[in-house]
Amino acid sequence: MRHAIDHKSPIPLHAQAEQLLRNMISEEEYQNGKVFPNEIELAKVLAISRSTLRQAINKLVFEGLLVRKKRSGTKVAKSVVSSKSNNWLSFSQEMKLRGITIKNFETQVSWVLPDDEVADFFEIKAERQVLKMEKLRGKPDEPFVYFVSYFHPRVGLTGEEDFKMPLYEMLEHEHSVIATLSKEEISAKAADGFIANKLQIPTGSPVLFRKRFVYDHGERPIEYNVGFYKADSFVYTVESSR
């Protein structure tokens, strides 16, 4: 584990270095803003050239994981969750990219009667039961997202699935449902008692509220999802051109 670069491996050195950096990124000290060893030092330790190391670093900078500043050094980018308009991922994937370990706890699955908005979106009768999934996520002692999903009966979920793996991956593999389109509405809300309790914040604190409508390839409704994000832990980013 010391200088974990294997010059005999068929994996390119820069790729090995990249992986190594990703591991470092997820370490707590670097998460908290510790600067990385400078390129020259690090290259020496890893026994690779500076250019090769820079290849790895550059990639991570481009991904937005690292920031560099002359004289100041290289650090982990400010931990901001982003959802770019073009490539949207499920939450756990976003977080994994940023090297933050997130735990799911309090995942609950149940069958319920849909409320009007859900029934309307799914275009089903209000008497038809749908699968509801609630999740609380964050670090174990610091929840920062609470969300609720409803799935269209068409998807064929039984409630026995493994909801621990990335959601859209699971849907794709287990149920051949490919989510391709989503419409989202984002607004600010004051946390009511229920949400405040879930997120362990005072009632009335601001939360970012996200409502998401997910469609499959044929624009048929798949999932209705709402999320409550602790105000300081989530930033939504959008890039658009005309």
Residues that bind DNA (CB under 7 A): 7, 10, 12-15, 36, 38-40, 47-52, 54, 68-74
Q: Give me the residues that bind a copy of itself (CB under 8 A), please.
A: 59, 62, 80, 82-88, 180-190, 204-209, 229, 231-232, 234-242
Is the distance from CB of 161 to CB of 174 less than 8 angstroms?
yes
**Partner whose binding site includes residue 13, from a copy of itself, DNA, none (CB under 5 to 8 Å by kind):** DNA
In this complex, which beta carbon is closest to DNA, that of residue 49 or of residue 107? 49
**Which residues, in sequence order, are CB contacts of 238 under 8 Å at separation 6+?**
84, 85
**Partner whose binding site includes residue 38, from a copy of itself, DNA, none (CB under 5 to 8 Å by kind):** DNA
**Partner whose binding site includes residue 36, from a copy of itself, DNA, none (CB under 5 to 8 Å by kind):** DNA
**Which residues, in sequence order, are CB contacts of 172 under 8 Å at separation 6+?**
178, 179
Is the distance from CB of 133 to CB of 107 less than 8 angstroms?
yes
Please name which of 60, 56, 227, 130 lies closest in space to residue 48, comparing C-alpha atoms: 56
In this complex, which beta carbon is closest to a copy of itself, that of residue 131 or of residue 177? 177
Cα–chain-centroid distance for residue 194?
24
- Cα dihedral: 7, 8, 10, 14 (round 10): 0
Is the distance from CB of 145 to CB of 119 less than 8 angstroms?
no
**Partner whose binding site includes residue 242, from DNA, a copy of itself, none (CB under 5 to 8 Å by kind):** a copy of itself
In this complex, which beta carbon is closest to DNA, that of residue 5 or of residue 136? 5
- Least distance to a copy of itself from the beta carbon of 31, Å? 18
In this complex, which beta carbon is closest to DNA, that of residue 40 or of residue 190? 40
Tokens describing residue 219: 């624009």
In this complex, which beta carbon is closest to a copy of itself, that of residue 7 or of residue 242? 242
- Least distance to a copy of itself from the beta carbon of 190, Å? 5
Tokens describing residue 186: 């984002």
